[in-house]
Structures are given as C-alpha cells and as structure tokens.
Structure 1
Amino acid sequence: MVIPVLLVVASLVVLYFGADFLVKGSSSLAVRFGISPLVVGLTVVAFGTSAPELLVSVQSALESNPGIAVGNVMGSNIFNVCAILGVSAMIYPLRVNPRLIRLDAPVMLVATLLFVGIFHNGSFGRWAGILFFAGICAYMVYCVYKAKRGESVEGDEEIKLTKSWMLDVVLVIAGFALLVWGSGLLVDNAVIIAQALGWSEAVIGLTIVAAGTSMPELATSVVAALKKRTDIAIGNVIGSNIFNLLAVLGLTATIAPVETNQINWTDMLVMLGTSLLLLPFMRTGFKIGRGEGVVLFVIYIAYTLYLIV
C-alpha cells in the first residue's frame, strides 16, 4: 500500500510540470499564429488534457468495465466544474469571456442534456456514439473557422513569447507526454488503493478514476490561474467537458456500446445541475469570484461524501 501512495504523489509532480509546459507552449503559439488564448484553451489545451479520459474510457469499455467507462466521463465533468473551477476561482477570480456564454457553455449544456436523455435507461449505443462524435467534429471545425476569420475575443491577456516557435512545439509535446504518463501512473495506483478499500466499479469510476484523469485539467487550470491567464483556466474546463461528452463518450460507444445499471439518476442530475449552475455564475459580473468558487468546491465535497458513504 505504501508504494502505490508514493507513486500517486510522484504522478502529481509529473502532472504539474506537464501542465506548466503545456500552458507556456500553447499560450506562446497562440500569439505567434494570431489565435486567441481562449480558443487555444477550448481546443488544443482542453483536448490534450482530456486524452487520459479518452484512453481510460475506451480501454474500460473494451475490457467490459462500463461503470468505469461512463463514470470516468461523468465524474470528470463534475470534478472539472466543481473542484477545478472552484479551486481556480479561489486562487484568482476567473474573468469570463462573453464568447463562453454565447457559444461554449451552451454547447456543453446541450451535450449534457442529450447525454442524460439518451443514457437515462443505462444504455449508450453505437449510433448515439456516432452522433456525439460528429458533434465534436462540427464544434472543432467551427472553432478553427472562427479563429481563421480573426474573431475578436474580448479580454485576451498579455502572453509572454518563448525564444522560438520550435521551443513552443517542444514544450507542448513534452507537456502532453508528461500529462498522459502522469495520469496513467496516477490512475493505475489510485485504482489499486480504491480496490483495497473495497469500493465498487461505479464509485471508482466516479471518484478515483475521474479525479485521476482530470488531474491534467486541474494542474493546467491552477497553473493558468496562478499566472492570471483566466481565459485558459476556464476555457480549458469547458472545452474539456465538451470533449469528454462528445469525443470520449462518442468514440467509446462507437467502438464498444456501453450498458450499465451502476450509474443512477443522482449522478446524472448532479452533472446536469452543476452545468446549469455554472451559467448564472458566469453571467454575474462576467466572472467567477472566490465566493462562487467556494460554493462549487463544497458541492464537490458533498457529492464525493455521498458516493463514499
């Protein structure tokens, strides 16, 4: 038991440096190519840090562990909104770009509603997966299209350039590699610890695995908040939630349709409720303040205690 705990601690260190490299490289690249940090946070950073969710969910579905496959995505989205945004907002109030309210947050909410509507009977089939995966492709195309048109994005922040674009690329690649490796190290050992405690597959998926695969998002957003790059901090979370639902679940169900009765209405309503709660928080003064961050974090603690108890 001692070795898995030490490896979990080591994985957190790896994730921190991976996130730091990723934020530096992607932010610098955004400026060099005329793309706003917000768009980078919603696409490159968000999707790169969601790679562990994709790997874990696909592998779980193929190995006939549907509770972990779906619980990983749902738990990650709850963790992203409540824990990551909560902690990030407590570190530094998150300024909300109007684009997030106009487009990205509504896309996340619609995807969440669609998932709850389709998965209410515990089944997420191949056609649903294809529909969701087509949705992420359409979203990506739209983001790139708007970026190429030079969309004006209010509130972009000053980003310090590195010495060269080649160094940017090296930082991004190294960051991705460290994030994926660190997440795998964390999840493997966290699952060992959870199984030793006698937790069920669904609880493992909704808590340990979900939090473990979301560590890249946590590290990335916290580092971005510390550097006061709030566009990346909040854009990373919303983009990751969109990716988790549309790409991770979509690709997972396309490869191996998911059926499980271990996910209940409480879990789905918590995910939907926190997504809904985020909208008024974002609209209030166009920022998520420290008080709202505390509320989000308390919700996550309460939900986790509910799952464990």
Structure 2
Amino acid sequence: MNILLFLGGLFLLVMGASLLVRGSSKLALSFGISPLVVGLTIVALGTSAPEVAVSVGAVLDGKTDIAIGNVVGSNIFNVLFILGISALIAPLVVNIQLIRQEVPIMIGACFLLLALGLDGQLSFFDGGFLFVLLVSYTVFLIVQSRRETQLAKDEYAGEIKPSAPGAWDDRLLVQLLLIAAGLAALVFGSEYLVQASVSFAKAMGVSDLIIGLTIVAAGTSMPEVATSIAAVIKGERDIAVGNVVGSNTFNILGCLGVSGLVSGDLGLDMAPSLLAFDIWVMVAVSFACLPVFMTGREIARWEGGVFLGYYVAYVAYLIMAAQQHDALPAFSGVMLSFVVPLTVVTLVVVLIRRPVKKG
C-alpha cells in the first residue's frame, strides 16, 4: 500500500509540474512575455516544483528532516546521478557561462546554506533571506537575457512556442485550469509522497533524514531526469547540464527559502549528521563540477561513470551507517584513503594535459 501511495504521489508530482509549466508558459506568452524570459523563469522553476511541494508539505506535517534532506539529497542526486547517466549516453557539452557564472553561484548557495545552518536551525528570517536572493537572481537572469545573442533567443523560441490561434490551450480559461490542476496535483502528490516516505522510514528502521536524502530526493528529481535525458537524446547536451546547475541553485534558494518562511517561528531544525556530513558532500560535489566542466568544456563518458559510481557509494554509505553495519569502517577507509585521492589526482592530471577551450 505504501509503495502504491509513493508511486501515486510521484506520478501526481511529475504530472502537476508538467501541467503547471504548460499552463503558466502559455498564459505568460499570451500576455506578450518573451519565450526567453519564460524559459529562464517559469520553465526553470517548474522542474523544481516537486521539491518545493514536498519540502513545504513536510514542514507543514512537522517532518523538517524530510524537507531539508530532500533538498540536499536532490542536489547530490542531480550532479552525480543525472549528469553521470546523461554523460554515459553521450558526452555532455558545457557552456562557458556555466563555468564562469552559474557553477560559482551554485557553490556560493551551498556555502550560504552551510553558514546559515551552523546554529543548527534554518530560521524564518533565514528562509526570507534565501527567498529574496532567489528573486534577485531571477531578475538578474532576466536583465542579463536582454543581452543574449539572437541565437540564444531563437533556441528558447523554438522550445517554447505560443499557441496557434484556435488551439485548445489558446483560451484563458483553459490556461487557468491547467495551472489550477497542476497546483492541485502537486499538493496531493506531495502529501502522498511524504506519508509513504515516513512509513518507509519506520518500516526500514531508518530516520526521516535518510529517506529524504535518498528515496524522496530521487523521486522529486524525476522531472530533471526526464528533461536532461531527453535533451541529450535530442542532441541539446548543453541544456542537460544547465538544467541541473540551475535546479540546484533554485533548490537551495527557492525550496528552503519557501520552507523556512512556511515554518514560521519554529524554523527548520538541521540534524547534526546533516551538518557534519551530507551538506559537505553537497559542497564537494558542487566543487567537483569546476574541474570536470573545465576539462575541454565537456563531461566525458568516463567522468560520467565516476559521478555515477560516487552516487552509488554515497547511498551505500548512508544505508550502512543507518544500520551500523560491520563493513562501514572498512568501506569508509577505502573511499577516503584510496578512491577519493585517486579521483582527485586523475582530474588534476586530465585538467593539466587537456587544454581548456576558449570562448
């Protein structure tokens, strides 16, 4: 029953995000807003709608560990799993703007979350600060988009087209119904997903935080998985990378910003284990993007394989730590004394031997 509840909630989240993006995009285009601005705002935020819905729903249910674990786990999942599996399908192209601007902003957001959580809580005011930064970042992207080349504008125009006259979604009422249906699906989907996740945690004897970092994080990242893999298959490999980086920044500023505001005076308690380990993993994963992206401005298949392998190792560590497995010390020793140093040395060698592309 819990599995059906989880799958039903996941389906509603994905469908709700799709309906919300479609209705909002068509409505914005109907009012004369450019496809470029719609792509940078509504579509970009729409893929993270499941994370927002689940985190806010978890806060309202008093499950703050799921709310924070969902965001941190989603960011780790997005980089290691989504980019990893996408690069295995085809080497990913990295836009120079991602290296110069978006990745540093993503890393800055990770450090900001760490700094705000050092007191063990994300307060109402912390949430408000994050949300203000999100609005400022979005405005900055819109202003910056006005200086984009015509090629970039044409790309968004090709992806997001106004409805043809007489089309079924051309009418205002239909667009409003799509938005309402999308929001309703997100609300119910998040409720079902949180309920099922709490039941999983109790049945497996693990904490809400572990469930949030793994099952919930992977489930709410399904729109990003679908978007990135579809982009790779269509040959739009730079969109796959940009989707992940943008989503990670929004997860911290948007999801935790709104969740912090919803929490009111209670705030969001941050588990000691999260501050001691998982947030640092998120920071390290974000930093890992820079050398990987700079090696020829692409993510090669072997680098994608390394990302995917590290995600499997991360989940394995969480499971063994939750169960206090006897193999945990040996596993941790091998990872810290052999696998991680070898990966760092390999990336440094590749970065030195492979010249960085200009432009």
**Is the 8 Å Cα contact of residues 42 and 239 (structure 1) preserved in structure 2?**
no
Alpha-carbon distance in structure 2 between the residues aligned to 1:18 and 1:59 = 15
In the alignment, the residues of structure 2 paired with residue 116 and residue 300 of structure 1 have an alpha-carbon distance, to the nearest angstrom, of 21
Match of 2:74 among 73, 76, 79: 76
1:114 is matched with 112
Q: Does 1:259 align with 2:269?
A: yes
Alignment of 1:137-156 (within 5 A): 137-147=135-145, 149-152=146-149
**Which residue pairs with 1:290 in the alignment?**
301
The Cα shift of 1:115 comes to 0.9
| 1:201-216 map, 5 Å | 201-216=208-223
Structure-to-structure mapping, 1:156-235, within 5 angstroms: 159=158, 164=163, 180=186, 188-235=195-242
Partner of 2:246: 239
SS across alignment from 2:202: helix
1:105 matches 2:115: no
Q: Residues 207 and 151 of structure 1: is their aligned pair in 2 closer, same or farther, counting only changes over 3 Å?
A: same
Equivalents in 2 of 1:191, 1:227: separation in Å? 38
> Do residues 50 (structure 1) and 41 (structure 2) align?
no
3-state SS of 1:292 partner: helix
Tell me how far 1:182 sits from its aligned partner: 6.1
Pair 201,19 (structure 1): closer, same or farther in 2 beyond 3 Å: closer
- For the residues of structure 2 that align with 1:9 and 1:254, how far apart are their CA atoms? 29
SS in 2 for 1:146: helix
| Range with greater deviation from structure 2 (265-274 or 49-58) | 49-58
Q: Deviations over 1:104-131 (max 9, x none)?
A: 1111111111111221232111222121
Residues 1:226 and 1:195: Cα distance change in structure 2 (over 3 Å):
farther
| Alpha-carbon distance, 1:301 to partner | 0.9
Q: Deviations over 1:34-68 (max 9, x none)?
A: 655xx766533331121121122222223322211
Residues 223 and 21 (structure 1), Cα distance of their counterparts in 2 relative to 1, 3 Å cut: farther
Distance 1:164 1:112 in 2: 39
Distance 2:10 2:61 in 1: 27
| Greater alpha carbon shift after TM alignment, 123-132 vs 160-169 | 160-169
Residue-by-residue CA offset, 1:195-240 (whole Å, 9 max, x unaligned): 3222211111111111111122112222222222223322221111
Contact 1:98–1:286 under 8 Å retained in 2: yes
Amino acid in the other structure paired with 2:269:
E
Structure 2: distance between partners of 1:113 and 1:189: 31
Over 3 Å counting, the alpha-carbon distance change for 1:182 and 1:236 in structure 2 is: farther
Unaligned residue ranges in structure 2 (runs of 5+): 321-359
Structure 1 unaligned residues grouped into runs of 5+: none
CA separation of 1:65 and 1:8: change in aligned 2, threshold 3 A? closer
Between 60-69 and 104-113, report the one with greater CA deviation: 60-69
CA distance in 2, matches of 1:26, 1:33: 11
Q: 1:145 to 1:207 in 2, by over 3 A?
A: same
**AA of the residue aligned to 1:104:** E
How big is the shift at 1:244?
Answer: 0.8
Please give the alpha-carbon distance, in whole angstroms, between the structure 2 residues aligned to 1:237 and 1:26: 21
Q: Which amino acid aligns with 1:199?
A: V
Percent of matched pairs sharing the same residue? 44
Residue 211 of structure 1: SS of its match in structure 2? helix
Distance 2:180 2:302 in 1: 35
Tell me the TM-score normalized by structure 1. Answer: 0.81
Once residues 94 and 150 of structure 2 are traced to their aligned partners in structure 1, the CA distance between those partners, rounded to angstroms, is: 11
Q: Distance in 2 between matches of 1:66 and 1:118?
A: 16
Which of structures 1 and 2 has the bigger CA Rg? 2
Distance 1:281 1:264 in 2: 25
Q: Please say if 1:299 is aligned against 2:297.
A: no
Q: Let me know the Cα RMSD of the aligned residues.
A: 3.5
Distance (whole Å) between structure 2 residues aligned to residue 24 and residue 93 of structure 1: 30
